[in-house]
Structure 1
Amino acid sequence: MDYGSVFFFIQFFFAVVIGLYFWNLLRAQQGSRVAVRRDSRKEQDKLTHLRAISLSEPLAERTRPRRFEDIVGQEDGVRALRAALCGPHPQHVIIYGPPGVGKTAAARLVLEEAKRNPRSPFRPDAAFVEIDATTARFDERGIADPLIGSVHDPIYQGAGPLGVAGIPQPKPGAVTRAHGGILFIDEIGELHPVQMNKLLKVLEDRKVILESAYYNPEDPNLPPHIKDMFENGLPADFRLVGATTRMPDEIPPAIRSRCVEVFFRQLTPAEVGTIARHAAERLGMPIEEGAVRVIQRYARNGREAVNMVQIAAGLADTEGRRHIATADAEWVVHSGQYAPRPERRVPERPQVGVANGLAVYGPNPVSYKPF
């Protein structure tokens, strides 16, 4: 056998080996794609099945105000909120007040009210973005920031196309998603000081400036939109509406100075009774006046009143009755261990050993606390 035949057989052998290698590699890739598609169909079927299941709407959702007129007992606060946001020059707002008096409901309604004003700068498609300050956590390395936004550097992107190319990927936050609309931050007093300072900068610049050590403006592979984000920033022209249960002097002065302050007061027993009657009406169950009086005596806000009505209605329904009795409300108070709401009343006549006093603190009349 000559050397030519030997070389031919060697080449043929290696060609077969290489061909088998790539053929098996192609089969593995095709098999993985088939497996991914099969698993994707299964997961999609699960999601479709889960979305087809729904429980009854909670009473808290059914009684949520759909108009400003539905917010009980906050006429002055609602008027101030509309004046601040529904005109041609909307401003940033902080809403103070105890829990369960309508702060969040008012914030959700104010944008729809503003859209109906032809002089308002809010467009019909203006966004309302809601975020809770207690859960708006961020990563100190800048990997994740749901409020301001972040940049995913290539080392954190894995095998994605931008990561392989060494290109940082900007991730817009809530301030950018709220561009042209309203950003509502619930419990803004709980916002981390670092986040608060970042938010102040965004309120001043009306854009988010991004930074990354991996950004190279001369990179020929850099997509134009990512270069635009780094050069000009992400748009963030919105109006801030913050709600808090804290006192004004507990909020940083830097954020207070940029916002109109609106105050929602605590509900009176009569207003709590109105909310309880409205909740029972939404349930389609009559409620005795005695039950309303019990709820007035123990519920401190509208949310507690709605919860008490819902539990009392559930008790009546399980016992085969279609009305809420006074005994039902009393049982709810006993089982829930509710304490009577404090009522400070001055006696009609002087009494031995009883003195009336008033203590105040803070720069604002809303801070006055009698005892």
Structure 2
Amino acid sequence: MSGRVLIVDDERGVCELLDAGLKKRGFQAAWRTSAAEALELLGAEDFDVVVTDMTMRGMSGLELCERIAQNRPDLPVIVITAFGSLDTATSAIRAGAYDFVTKPFELDALRLTVERALRHRALREEVRRLRRAVDDSHRYEQILGGSPAMKGVFDLLDRVADSDTSILITGESGTGKELVARAVHQRSRRGQGAFVAVNCAAVPDALLESELFGHARGAFTDAKGPRSGLFARAHGGTLFLDEIGELPVGLQPKLLRALQERVVRPVGADEEVPVDVRLIAATNRDLETAIEERRFREDLYYRINVVHVDLPPLRSRGADVLLLAQRFLEHFATVKERPIKGLSAPAAEKLVAYAWPGNVRELQNCVERAVALARYDQITVDDLPEKIRSYRSSHVLVSSDDPTELVPMEEVERRYILRVLEVVGGNKSQAAQILGFDRATLYRKLERYGLRAGRASDPKP
């Protein structure tokens, strides 16, 4: 590790010794024999670390620390003292010193202290950069992202937010579909109304109709009184149907009529009730495939898919991974009262390289775990889950001249199919078209290679 070091000592011989020793160990160095001269040089040139003696004629090392801390709080100062007492160390730290070393010392020990100071300064700079990036990045309500893919999503949401147009949000699990739905609601003219959300996969089929449309008294055994449904509760606001691909086939015509006619009939009731809701639906399923397999009505699909918002997987969002990681890190460090300031460079590289099959939700859990386990003031590779530390990309690369590193054609095909599925977000109709297969052939190959049809990624190549 290299950097510019300013040495301050009122003994010229000590300055020359430290100057030669640090330069020999890869640092750039300059020296001055008084604190006043050092401050003058700091006003004209930039340095990464200051190494100063404690006791000097004129201004002392502690006074120099205080002046630097006031004017250059980003510049770490290392104090050299012949008095290795606790009081001396406390005085140095209180004066703003980053660390201190006691005489006599080995130059290699000073080198290690200087390197720690350089890493500390680099970390502070990286934290500031990420915080600026978080503050300056494109936002849509609580959604954060600066990648081209997310900028396109934000632009589309801006254009449709203030209308009553139905929206279908697609994307892999964990990409933030409900967060997008809430953001659209907040930006719309219905923002003061209710936002009512239901996961169609989480409610038993027998109860879902009553949950959506309500029921009349005596409609079934436990219906001791009338109950309004989610449509009625969302009147004047937005109804969000998550996992709409799991909606029972028998209930789909009733939902279609409610959307077309803007009326609902509670279970067991004789009269219809008018409703005024905006529908936003979401799914991580391939609804076009579901239509082909007669598990989803085509007319309902076109009714909910007036505007299609496809959320990109996290692995295709580039540096957004680090922006989100920094946001989550700051949040959990505050909540858990941990003094974690940022990510180490190796940890950041691991986060960017990983495929994130669980998307933003998985990243959030990963950062929360890392903050809880961190032993230092930054997240290191050791704080990350083992599957992220040991991740290997599924990209197909044929760049080796070593025959022992080459793989059979069957393995190349397996990896390529996996890569295409990753790129298209698991859409098997689109993947089959790209690969030149029919859908039946693609499913046979997925089964043959042990790739789960419901997942678009496999972290193990």
| TM-score, normalisation: structure 2 | 0.49
1:84 corresponds, among 139, 160, 185, to: 160
Secondary structure of 1:184's counterpart equals strand
Structure 2 partner of 1:277: 326
Residues 284-334 of structure 1: CA distance to partner in whole angstroms, max 9, x if unpaired? 422212112222333331111111111111111xx4x332112212xx225
Gaps of 5+ in 2: 1-138, 291-295, 334-339, 437-461
Which residue of the partner structure matches residue 176 of structure 1?
Answer: 232
Mapping for residues 1-371 of structure 1, pairs under 5 Å: 67=141, 70-71=144-145, 73-87=149-163, 90-115=164-189, 122=190, 125-139=192-206, 145-153=210-218, 156=221, 169-210=225-266, 212=268, 230-231=270-271, 233-249=272-288, 250=290, 251-258=296-303, 259-260=305-306, 261-267=308-314, 268=316, 269-284=318-333, 285=340, 286-298=342-354, 299-300=356-357, 301-316=359-374, 319=375, 321-329=376-384, 332-334=385-387, 340=392, 342-344=394-396
Aligned partners of 2:321 and 2:352 also within 8 Å:
yes
The aligned amino acid for 2:370 is: A
Give the aligned partner of residue 33 of structure 2: none
CA 1:248 to 1:82, structure 2 compared with 1: closer, same or farther past 3 Å?
Answer: farther
Paired residue type of 1:67: E
1: CA distance between counterparts of 2:434 and 2:178? 24
* Counterpart-to-counterpart distance in 1, 2:368 and 2:267: 51
- Would the aligned equivalents of 1:277 and 1:292 in 2 still touch at CA under 8 Å? no
* Deviation string, structure 1 residues 1-41 (Cα, Å, up to 9, x no partner): xxxxxxxxxxxxxxxxxxxxxxxxxxxxxxxxxxxxxxxxx
User: CA-to-partner distance for each residue in 1:210-234, whole Å, 9 max, x for gaps?
Assistant: 464xx8xxxxxxxxxxxxxx54x22
Structure 2 counterpart SS, 1:139: helix
SS at match of 2:226: strand
CA contact (8 A) 1:295 1:308 kept: no
Counterparts of 1:304 and 1:235 in 2: how far apart (Å)?
A: 41
Instruction: State the 1:172 CA deviation.
Output: 1.2
The superposition leaves residues 321-353 of structure 1 with CA deviations (integer Å, 9 ceiling, x where unpaired) of: 332112212xx225x89854533568699x997
Distance in 1 between residues matched to 2:211 and 2:360, nearest whole Å: 31
3-state DSSP of counterpart to 2:343: coil
User: Quick one: distance in 2 between partners of 1:197 and 1:155?
Assistant: 21
* Partner Cα separation in structure 2 for residue 137 and residue 100 of structure 1: 22
- Structure 1 residues 344, 80: CA separation in 2 closer, same or farther (over 3 Å shift)? farther
Question: CA separation of 1:366/1:110 partners in 2, compared to 1, >3 Å: closer, same or farther?
Answer: farther
Which amino acid counterpart does residue 130 of structure 1 have in structure 2? A
Q: How many residues align?
A: 263
Between the two structures, name the one with larger relative contact order (CA 8 Å, sep ≥ 6): 1
1:107, 1:241 within 8 Å by CA — same for their partners in 2? yes
RMSD: 3.7
Consecutive unaligned residues of structure 1, counting only runs of 5 or more, are 1-64, 116-121, 164-168, 216-229
Q: Classify 1:180/1:287 alpha carbon distance in 2 versus 1 (closer, same or farther; 3 Å).
A: same
Counterpart of 1:240, as a letter, is L
Contact 1:150 1:172 in 2 (8 A): yes
Q: Does the C-alpha gap of structure 1 residues 303 and 370 become closer, same or farther in structure 2, counting only changes over 3 Å?
A: farther
Matched-pair identity in %: 24
